[in-house]
């Protein structure tokens, strides 16, 4: 039960990511041109400037948290086995599903372009691979707290800057995203001390406020961050992690469906932005009155569409995990 709250946060993060992409469909002119302005006015601010700015950093933070947690427990001590394991876990699915997506979504079929590591939403898989060797070197050779905090600040500042690394297998995303992975590493390594400080000085509210104020007075779209917005997000993530880590057992029991869903989060991430466009394609619009539903049910339609995408993505994940190959790819 020790990491139950981490599983809950992972499920919530992936659900927000799915909501982000599906609601984004609603105000992209190519999908529903007649109602694009209506949906833009209704959902753009929250969808582009709030939820996703927390969900993706949290998803990455959790990966770093778990890596550090298991490293401190004696796992991942050898570099080569770690690289082999993460290559199979992340790079293999990136290439397999990247090729399948190229072949089935109408984009130009150029699988050799996958070497950049930046294809559609699968960019995250290739990026995440590089976090583990970098995180391993930090855990192995940079044990000073001061050095680790300095590196964290540098990487978080990098999240607000332009990418400068070469586009080779996703390594170019390290400068903008590794800071969240490292934040998770430090929160895992020093969680007891951090929890004591937050509890002693009642800091949890102060940790949450900066992001809420920044989002209200100076909202920034996903991917368009400044140094202060990055640190507002970091503060908010620490506060949220503290709140969930201190949830009572009765609340954790109520959240068991999210714990169960967590083991399918990887598959849901891969499939959701693949099946979503099919569900609002021109073929789907000829079969179902999607445009009328979108025009007449501004609240219900995108919500039900999102639930449908989640359900189909889960079904595909569950079915794939019933096979040996599927468990190797997304298990």
| Per-residue pLDDT tens digits of the chain, which is 331 residues long | 579 999 999 999 999 999 999 999 999 888 999 999 999 999 999 999 999 999 999 999 999 999 999 999 999 999 999 999 999 999 999 999 999 999 998 888 999 989 999 899 999 999 999 999 999 999 999 999 999 999 999 999 999 999 999 999 999 999 999 999 999 999 999 999 999 999 999 999 999 999 999 999 999 999 999 999 999 999 999 999 999 999 998 998 999 999 999 999 999 999 999 999 999 999 999 999 999 999 999 999 999 999 999 999 999 999 999 999 999 999 8
The predicted structure's pLDDT at residue 95? 97
What's the predicted TM-score (pTM) here?
0.96
Look at residue 204 in the predicted model and tell me its pLDDT. 97
The reported pLDDT for the residue numbered 180 is: 99
Dmax over CA atoms of the chain, in Å, equals 62
pLDDT at residue number 30: 87
- Calpha distance 74→173 (Å, rounded): 28
- Note whether 298 and 245 are within 8 A (CB): no
pLDDT given for residue 184 in this prediction: 98
Number of neighbours of residue 319 by Cβ within 10 angstroms: 11
Compute the residue count for the chain: 331
CA–CA gap between residue 17 and residue 12 (Å, rounded): 9
C-alpha span between 126 and 87 (Å, rounded): 9
C-alpha span between 193 and 235 (Å, rounded): 16
Task: Tell me the backbone φ, ψ of residue 323, rounded to 5 degrees.
Answer: -110, 155
**Given this model, what pLDDT does residue 118 score?**
86
Question: What's the pLDDT score for residue 120?
Answer: 92
Tens digit of pLDDT for each residue in 196-230?
Answer: 999 999 999 999 999 999 999 999 999 999 999 99
Sequence-distant (≥ 6) Cβ neighbours of residue 226 within 8 angstroms: 160, 220
The pLDDT value recorded for residue 108 is: 87
Query: Would you state the structure tokens that stand for residue 221, as one six-digit string?
Result: 């779209």
Q: Is 308 helix (H, G, I), strand (E, B) or coil?
A: helix
């Amino acid at each position: 039960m020790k990491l139950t709250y981490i599983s809950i946060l992972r499920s919530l993060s992936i659900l927000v990511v799915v909501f982000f992409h599906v609601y984004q469909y609603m105000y992209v002119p190519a999908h529903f041109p007649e109602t694009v302005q209506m949906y833009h006015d209704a959902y753009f601010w929250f969808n582009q400037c709030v939820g996703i700015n927390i969900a993706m950093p949290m998803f990455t933070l959790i990966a770093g948290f778990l890596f550090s947690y298991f490293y401190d427990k004696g796992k991942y001590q050898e570099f080569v086995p770690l690289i082999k394991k993460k290559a199979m876990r992340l790079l293999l699915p990136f290439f397999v599903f990247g090729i399948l997506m190229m072949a089935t979504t109408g984009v130009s079929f150029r699988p050799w372009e996958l070497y950049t590591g930046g294809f559609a939403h699968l960019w995250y898989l290739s990026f995440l691979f590089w976090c583990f060797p970098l995180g391993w070197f930090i855990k192995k050779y940079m044990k000073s707290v001061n050095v680790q905090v300095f590196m964290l600040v540098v990487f978080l500042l990098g999240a607000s800057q332009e990418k400068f690394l070469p586009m080779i297998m996703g390594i170019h995303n390290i400068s903008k995203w590794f800071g969240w992975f490292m934040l998770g590493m430090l929160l895992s390594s020093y969680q007891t001390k951090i929890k004591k400080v937050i509890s002693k000085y009642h800091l949890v509210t102060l940790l949450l406020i900066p992001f809420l104020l920044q989002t209200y007075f100076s909202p920034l779209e996903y991917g368009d961050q400044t140094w202060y917005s990055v640190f507002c997000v970091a503060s908010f993530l620490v506060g949220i992690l503290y709140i969930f880590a201190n949830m009572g057992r009765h609340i954790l029991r109520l959240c068991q469906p999210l714990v169960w869903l967590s083991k399918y989060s990887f598959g849901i991430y891969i499939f959701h932005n693949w099946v979503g466009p099919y569900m609002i394609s021109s073929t789907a619009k000829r079969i179902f009155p999607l445009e009328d539903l979108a025009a007449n049910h501004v609240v219900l339609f995108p919500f039900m569409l999102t639930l449908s995408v989640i359900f189909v993505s889960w079904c595909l994940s569950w079915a794939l995990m019933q096979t040996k190959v599927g468990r190797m790819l997304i298990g």
